[in-house]
Structure 1
Amino acid sequence: MAEKNILAFFHAPDQAEAIAAKLRSLRVIDVKVDRFSRYPGTGVDSVMNPITGEISSLGVLTQGADVSSPSAGILMAADPAASGMSDGGNGGATGKNILLTVVVEENNYEQALRVIREGGGEA
């Protein structure tokens, strides 16, 4: 039997995890939930004082990005989300930045899509 892939996007990780649990009951081949960003890096790991801390860019503080050069830091700091004045909130990209990846048998594909869409996902 052939396999099909689904990439679905969600607003929150718990929303995607709930759908992933439902999909596992459908005997999907594989399912994974990840967060993605327009900038490289895993986010800020520790709380630091921006006045006394060593920061390379505003993008490091607000976007949780790994800054590879001063020029990249300047470009990240120019992003509207870096000011805290964007509607993206929490320094991240506006919208659905949680990715649910599913591998399913072809005969379960439509049912899996229906579960994702009913759970608020965009596939």
Structure 2
Amino acid sequence: MLSNKKIDVESLYVQIIGSIYHKWELICVKERNILAGFLTEDDAQKAENALRQAGFSIIQIDRIGQIPDEGIERIMNPLTGSFPGLGSLTLSGNFPSGRDASILAAADPDASGYTDRDDSYYNRTVLLTAVVPEEQADEATRIIESFGGLI
């Protein structure tokens, strides 16, 4: 059975465009990704708790480092020659991917001991990642920096 109701094409068009714009606006919310390094996991946890109390919800904490794996837990004697390379000996690195990674690690100034740099930037092995709305990014940055995070 057909209806005699007249469809207002212009009104229908406005409703469709409005609906599409609303969905596009939800999809294209402006966000900022904040990556911050911490010296200790406790400091990162405190910053995470403060961020959650401030209303931020997308936060993750990871441990990172330039040397793979957890390190070698056995004593190596360099006089016997039974060690995989300089990277393993001086950096306590375990290189499961092969000898190439060990050679590359040995090229690091930390392996030779000939380095003169400020370690406060390089020893930050805890990474806090937060995704925050663009308009609240400054607030999140202040919270992270107040707990010792380096952005």
Normalised by the size of structure 1, how large is the TM-score?
0.70
Q: Does 1:99 align with 2:110?
A: no
Aligned-pair CA distance for 1:56:
2.0
Q: Does 1:80 align with 2:106?
A: no
1:58 aligns to what?
86
Kindly, what percent of the aligned residue pairs are identical? 34
5+ residue gaps, structure 1, are none
Give the ranges of 4+ consecutive aligned residues of structure 1 lying more than 6 Å apart after TM superposition: none
Q: Does 1:43 align with 2:70?
A: yes
Aligned-pair CA distance for 1:84:
5.5
5+ residue gaps, structure 2, are 1-25
Deviations 1:4-47 (A, max 9, x none): 321112222222221111111122221111222234x2222x62
Normalised by the size of structure 2, how large is the TM-score?
0.59
What is the alpha-carbon distance in structure 1 between the residues aligned to residue 122 and residue 150 of structure 2?
15
Q: Aligned in 2, Cα 1:87/1:30: closer, same or farther, shift over 3 Å? A: farther
The number of residue pairs the alignment matches comes to 117
Deviations 1:75-122 (A, max 9, x none): 32242322466578xxxx834332110012344322111101222222
Which amino acid in structure 2 is aligned with residue 121 of structure 1? G
What is the alpha-carbon distance in structure 2 between the residues aligned to residue 16 and residue 36 of structure 1?
13
